[in-house]
């Protein structure tokens, strides 16, 4: 079933009709009264409207951080999946980046690779050397 308005072809007429309604006939006819942004569906508008209020209905079950949009929660949850990538062999704590693990390992090993060139002090974290 080809769309007469564009080059798309659909396997059944209901998908074609849905496409025409959302992309051609009155597409994006649902407008946000706060900012004017338009949406093809009322559900899209409803989801968007949360950004204009303090309502954050989408909550991460891991850390309880909340979001106005489901897509933002999904992006955030991928970060939690990555958190298990780097694990401390001494205490089992997990980190999202290797640099975070490296810095943490120094709390176990006592390594202090950042040396002051003016005195004999050394530090485990470069920002502590800079502050010194």
CATH code, domain carrying 106: 3.30.160.60
Q: Is residue 117 situated within a structural domain?
A: yes
In a domain? residue 119: yes
Q: Are the C-beta atoms of residues 48 and 33 closer than 8 Å to each other?
A: no
Which of the 8 DSSP states describes residue 52?
Answer: G
Using DSSP, state whether 59 is helix, strand or coil. Answer: strand
15 lies in some domain: no
On whether residue 112 sits in a domain, the answer given is yes
The reply to whether 21 falls in a domain is no
Which residues have CB under 8 Å from 65's CB, separation 6+?
Answer: 59, 76
Range of the domain at 127: 83-131
Question: Which of 2-6, 46-50, 82-86 is the least confident region?
Answer: 82-86
Instruction: Give the pLDDT of residue 130.
Output: 93
Residue 52 lies in a domain: no
Return the higher-pLDDT residue of 41 and 66. 66
Distance from C-alpha of 61 to C-alpha of 8, rounded to nearest angstrom: 40
CB contact at 8 A, 16 and 3: yes
pLDDT, residue 108, reads 95
Task: Count the domains in the chain.
Answer: 1
Residues 6 or more apart whose CB falls under 8 angstroms from that of 89 comprise: none
Q: Is the pLDDT of residue 84 over 70?
A: no
Q: How many CA atoms lie within 13 A of 74 on its CB side?
A: 3
In a domain, 58, yes or no: no
pLDDT in tens, 9-58: 988 888 888 887 777 665 667 788 988 888 777 778 887 887 888 888 88
> CA torsion sign, 35 to 37 to 40 to 44?
negative
Domain annotation covers residue 68 = no
Instruction: Write down the pLDDT at residue 117.
Output: 95
Contact yes or no for 107/124 (Cβ under 8 A): yes
Backbone φ and ψ of 8, nearest 5°: -75, 145
Is the CB of residue 83 less than 8 Å from the CB of residue 94?
A: yes
């Amino acid at each position: 079933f080809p769309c007469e308005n564009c080059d798309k072809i659909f396997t059944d007429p209901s998908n074609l009709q849905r496409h025409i309604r959302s992309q051609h006939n009155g597409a994006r006819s649902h407008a946000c009264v706060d900012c004017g942004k338009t949406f093809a569906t009322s559900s899209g508008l409803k989801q968007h409207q949360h950004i204009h209020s303090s309502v954050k209905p989408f909550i991460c079950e891991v850390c309880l951080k909340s979001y106005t949009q489901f897509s933002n929660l999904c992006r955030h949850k991928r970060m939690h999946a990555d958190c298990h990538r780097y694990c401390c062999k001494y205490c089992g704590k997990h980190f999202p980046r290797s640099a975070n693990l490296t810095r943490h390992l120094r709390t176990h090993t006592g390594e202090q690779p950042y040396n002051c060139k003016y005195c004999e002090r050394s530090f485990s974290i470069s920002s502590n050397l800079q502050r010194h």
